[in-house]
Amino acid sequence: MAKKAMIEREKKRQKLVEKYAAKRAELKEIANDESKPMEERFKARLKLAKLPRNSAPSRLHNRCQLTGRPHAYYRKLKVSRIALRELASNGKAPGMVKSSW
């Protein structure tokens, strides 16, 4: 089980990303628009830099929905390998058969 603080921190980042998504997209569009004057584009980049760091989507980290584990995460299932194995062993993951040879 992951630390509660780390899980909560990740939730806080997710909220910030959602809150600033529209503003960040708008500023990026202005900053990357070649037809706008250089001063206006530079001001947009400065405003973009003043936004909270944790509002950037690249700072999010995938975590297991069940345990909060950050490593060995299956995107499609949104769980870690350990949680997936536990679900499969209990027969709660349909179509999964435990391998034995």
| Same domain assignment for residues 45 and 5 | yes
Q: What is the dihedral of CA 50, 51, 54, 58, to 10 degrees?
A: -100
Beta-strand relationship, 79-80 and 73-74: antiparallel
| Same domain assignment for residues 9 and 53 | yes
In 3D space, the residue among 92, 19, 84, 85 whose CA is nearest the CA of residue 57 turns out to be: 19
| Same domain assignment for residues 32 and 71 | no
Query: The whole model's pTM is what?
Result: 0.77
| Same domain assignment for residues 37 and 56 | yes
Domain count for the chain: 2
- Any domain includes 35: yes
The tens digit of pLDDT for each residue in 22-79 reads 999 999 999 999 999 999 999 999 999 999 999 999 999 999 999 999 999 999 999 9
- Any domain includes 101: no
Residue range(s) defining the domain that contains residue 83: 62-91
| Same domain assignment for residues 27 and 72 | no
| Burial label, 48 (beta-carbon count in 10 A; 0-12, 13-18, 19+) | middle
**In whole angstroms, what separates CA 18 from the centre of its chain?**
11
